[in-house]
Chains A and B, each alone.
Chain A
Amino acid sequence: MDLTLAPEQTEIVASAAAFLRARLPLATVRQRLDSDDVVDPGAWSAAAELGWFALGLPEDRGGVGFGLADEALLFREIGRSLAPGPYLPTVLAARIASYAGCRELTARIVGGAERVGLVLGGAHDGAIRLLDADQSLVVALSPSSASLVAVDALDDVVRVNCVDPASTLRRARAGDVHPVASVTNDVDPIARRGHVLVAAMLTGITEAVRDVAAEHARDRIQFDRPIGVHQAVKHPCAEMAVHAERAYAQTIFAAVAHDERRRDADFHATSALLVATDAAERSTAATVQVFGGMGFTFEHDAHLYVKRARVLARLFGAPADHLGRLLTLDRAD
């Protein structure tokens, strides 16, 4: 048992972080917020060249053959950076296409030619919602399987404004839809992978806001002292550190549980999603408060973290759905 990073994992983290800093710093992301397409196509292709969309795909399927733990470390960096774009559903899409035997489609997705969106889980009002469905395909999950669906096959697709300015949202109605490709959970548990990877992104967000809030608490002077001397500011910062730590710990635990084919892998993946969602929601909210009036402005980055965390928290349904499901699972080993 060892949950510290292996040297090659440290390398994955460092190179992903360096790439994101160079190609997608938050200032650059901001400049694209008002454009039609917030996703930088050059950065997307470069990410594909780095193998990001095939990292966890087995080598005999044309992938890099790394584990879910390695992939989770990559997505933690993506989450931290607030990079716009459907990195997560695209990785899931590559697996669905591959395991469904669609070689050409797999190659297109892995090569960066297809950005695949996601049908958000847990709709209560009859409509379905598509996240980042800016090109032709979306991933749709059911309790037992995962599919790729053509956006064209859905009815009444309309773009609506998304609370997160770096994401796009569409409403639609499901007609008589035939998936382009489909994979059942026993072949490859796509939903579990999604839960772990979104938990990793939420962990990255939690770590990011922990760091910017702590920096502000150190630097901002009021009453002749840094505001971080006051426990009313200091303790929320410490709580963010605890949230980041528990989200990270449970996420890598879940990823390794999957990689080692443990029986309780679903239990840990769902727990990771719940813990990381809670961590990110609480920490992003606390960050707005630490920054005070500046934190409430559009100009400041705090709200971008709040909003991305909110979108990520709903990718696979509402927290209440996950809580209900966790109780139906066998206890952890």
Chain B
Amino acid sequence: MDLAFSADDDAFRDEVRTWLTEHAPSERRPHDLHAARDYDLAWQRLQYEAGWAGIGWPVAFGGRDLPLTRQLIWYEEYARTGLPPIDARFVGLSHAGPTLIARGTDEQRADHLLPILRGDVVWCQGFSEPDAGSDLASLRTRAVVDGHELVVTGQKIWTSFAPVADWQELLVRTNPDVPKHKGITWLICDMHTPGVDVRPIRTMDNGYEFAEVFYDEVRVPLANVVGDVDDGWSVALSTLSFERGTASTISQVQLSTNVERLIELARSRRSVSGRRVIADESIAHRLARARADVAALRALTYLNISRNAHAVQPGPEGSMLKLEDARLNQEVYRLALEILGPRSLELVDGEDDTYWVERQLWSYAASIGGGTSEIQKNIVAERLLGLPR
């Protein structure tokens, strides 16, 4: 066992840190969704030109194929920039791209991978539906073969960045007469096709990225099927095996930075009584516990990455990381509100305290998005402990 990084790894870290310090955008990411798209893509283009795009992708597809330790280093350093862990580039780089690498045809890869790396396009994910959330395989958006095309009709929901997306990874029901996991197909859908109707959804943190997407006889070429017709469930699962626990590093490092910022805040702020906030023992103890818990979250990440570096296929341990990440995000930002006191009621653009209020409102999503904490607990109990379904 060791925690130390090799001299080469340390040199790599220096290189990454220097490059990020010199090139990461210093101006705030804009609130307007279209401006944010331009901002994210310009940032991706810059990374691509400097050779930092697709650090975990195979070299054959334009990536760097860095070992997990180097990916970890990249993400740890990236977190220092304060840029959001997830932006308009996320689905393309971390989901659709890896899926095409694993299961796409040569032509699909040639058409889509480079534009993702180069920052030309935004992808979104069309998986969830109003009646298919945690039970994703019960999805009902229909696709019927008609000549060389599939004709798609139905509805998707919770589609981040759909209003500014060019492409969508879309799961559709192609066969309603077989068990639910067997009649699903994974499609590449052009978001500019006639019949695609995107309606934004405003979220409780005043976010503007969410949308529902309606499909009215949308025609998708059969050449856009990834894997085979009716084999989409296995294609969707193959992406999961690509994620080896490094990408969550950004959010975890930022959480740990934020705990330290909150300790400073509690030391400098005074409550109504005139005492420093940190003099309140219950606040001090919660801050200390957050420190310990966030340290353990990092240890969990390191353990996970260590195991995955040896494993052929990542196990369900990632669910434990996600559960703990969600729990801690919610605890830490709830604690931030208590440190802020009455300022926690204020949302004033440009003021530092507003950051905490927005993060706390966002934190409700931490135990829902990407699989709810309830589903993660089912996975841990059934796959790790062997409990019955």
A278–B296 Cα distance when bound, in Å, is 12
A228/B1 contact (C-beta < 8 A), A242-B323, A274-B292, A327-B263 known: no
Tell me the chain A residues, 309-327 only, with Cβ under 8 Å from chain B. Answer: 320, 322-324, 326-327
A324 contacts B284, CB within 8 Å? yes
Measured CB to CB, the nearest residue on chain B to A329 is: B291
Measured CB to CB, the nearest residue on chain A to B256 is: A332
- Produce 1/0 per residue, B4-20, CB < 8 A to A: 11000100000000000
A234 contacts B309, CB within 8 Å? no
A245–B318 Cα distance when bound, in Å, is 11
A14–B69 Cα distance when bound, in Å, is 28
B295 contacts A250, CB within 8 Å? yes
Measured CB to CB, the nearest residue on chain B to A234 is: B381
B2 contacts A1, CB within 8 Å? yes
- Is B320 an interface residue, CB under 8 A from the partner? yes
Chain B residues within 8 Å of A1, by CB: 2-5, 9, 69, 72, 302, 305-306
- Is A177 an interface residue, CB under 8 A from the partner? no
Task: In the complex, identify which listed stretch (A15-23, A81-89, A264-272) lies at the interface while the others stay far away.
Answer: A264-272
Measured CB to CB, the nearest residue on chain B to A320 is: B285
Chain B residues within 8 Å of A322, by CB: 288
A226 contacts B388, CB within 8 Å? yes
A64–B9 Cα distance when bound, in Å, is 32
Question: How many whole Å from A286's CB to the nearest CB in chain B?
Answer: 13
- Is A218 an interface residue, CB under 8 A from the partner? yes
A6–B5 Cα distance when bound, in Å, is 17
- Is B384 an interface residue, CB under 8 A from the partner? yes
A231/B302 contact (C-beta < 8 A), A1-B3, A326-B291 known: no
Task: In the complex, identify which listed stretch (B120-128, B197-205, B244-252, B372-380) lies at the interface while the others stay far away.
Answer: B372-380
Chain A residues within 8 Å of B297, by CB: 246
- Is B300 an interface residue, CB under 8 A from the partner? yes
Chain A residues within 8 Å of B263, by CB: 327
Chain A residues within 8 Å of B278, by CB: 327
Tell me the chain B residues, 332-389 only, with Cβ under 8 Å from chain A. Answer: 374, 376-378, 380-382, 384-389
A245 contacts B306, CB within 8 Å? no
A249 contacts B388, CB within 8 Å? no
Question: How many whole Å from A270's CB to the nearest CB in chain B?
Answer: 7
A242 contacts B260, CB within 8 Å? no
Chain B residues within 8 Å of A256, by CB: 1-3
Task: Describe B's contact surface by its main secondary structure.
Answer: helix
Interface residues on B, range: 35 or more
- Is A275 an interface residue, CB under 8 A from the partner? yes
A331 contacts B260, CB within 8 Å? yes
Chain A residues within 8 Å of B166, by CB: none
Question: How many whole Å from A201's CB to the nearest CB in chain B?
Answer: 17
Measured CB to CB, the nearest residue on chain A to B257 is: A331
- Is A158 an interface residue, CB under 8 A from the partner? no
B381 contacts A237, CB within 8 Å? yes
Question: How many whole Å from B180's CB to the nearest CB in chain A?
Answer: 20
Chain B residues within 8 Å of A235, by CB: 374, 377-378, 381
Chain B residues within 8 Å of A270, by CB: 292
A168–B93 Cα distance when bound, in Å, is 59
A324/B374 contact (C-beta < 8 A), A210-B385, A271-B296 known: no
A253 contacts B284, CB within 8 Å? no
- Produce 1/0 per residue, A205-247, CB < 8 A to B: 0000010001001100000011011010011011101100111
B380 contacts A242, CB within 8 Å? yes
Tally the A-B contacts, defined by beta carbons under 8 Å: 165
- Is A260 an interface residue, CB under 8 A from the partner? yes
- The one of A5, A246, A262, A327 that contacts B324, using a Cβ cutoff of 8 Å: A246
A320–B285 Cα distance when bound, in Å, is 7
Question: How many whole Å from B46's CB to the nearest CB in chain A?
Answer: 28
A4–B317 Cα distance when bound, in Å, is 14
- Is A145 an interface residue, CB under 8 A from the partner? no
A116–B307 Cα distance when bound, in Å, is 38
A267–B305 Cα distance when bound, in Å, is 22
A246–B9 Cα distance when bound, in Å, is 26
Question: How many whole Å from A89's CB to the nearest CB in chain B?
Answer: 24
A242–B293 Cα distance when bound, in Å, is 12
Measured CB to CB, the nearest residue on chain B to A327 is: B288
Chain B residues within 8 Å of A332, by CB: 256, 295, 298
A238 contacts B385, CB within 8 Å? yes
B306 contacts A3, CB within 8 Å? yes
B303 contacts A252, CB within 8 Å? yes
B377 contacts A238, CB within 8 Å? yes
B4 contacts A4, CB within 8 Å? no
Question: How many whole Å from B382's CB to the nearest CB in chain A?
Answer: 8
Chain B residues within 8 Å of A246, by CB: 293, 296-297, 299-300, 320, 324
A231–B372 Cα distance when bound, in Å, is 14
A3/B1 contact (C-beta < 8 A), A235-B374, A245-B317, A324-B284 known: yes
A35–B300 Cα distance when bound, in Å, is 42
- The one of B1, B288, B309, B378 that contacts A5, using a Cβ cutoff of 8 Å: B1
Chain A residues within 8 Å of B309, by CB: 2
A218 contacts B387, CB within 8 Å? yes
- Is A289 an interface residue, CB under 8 A from the partner? no
Chain A residues within 8 Å of B293, by CB: 246, 275
Question: How many whole Å from B318's CB to the nearest CB in chain A?
Answer: 11
Chain B residues within 8 Å of A255, by CB: 1
- Is A9 an interface residue, CB under 8 A from the partner? yes
- Is A196 an interface residue, CB under 8 A from the partner? no
Chain A residues within 8 Å of B380, by CB: 238, 241-242
24 inter-chain pairs at a CB distance below 8 angstroms, sorted by A residue, are A1-B3, A1-B306, A3-B1, A3-B306, A69-B1, A214-B381, A214-B385, A218-B386, A228-B387, A234-B382, A235-B381, A238-B376, A241-B381, A245-B320, A246-B293, A246-B324, A250-B292, A262-B3, A267-B295, A271-B295, A322-B288, A324-B285, A324-B288, A326-B288
Sorted nearest first, the 5 A-B pairs with minimum C-beta distance are A253-B299, A249-B299, A271-B292, A238-B377, A250-B296
- Chain B interface (Cβ < 8 Å from any Cβ of A): 1-5, 9, 69, 72, 256, 260, 263, 278, 281, 284-285, 287-289, 291-293, 295-300, 302-303, 305-307, 309-310, 317, 320, 323-324, 374, 376-378, 380-382, 384-389
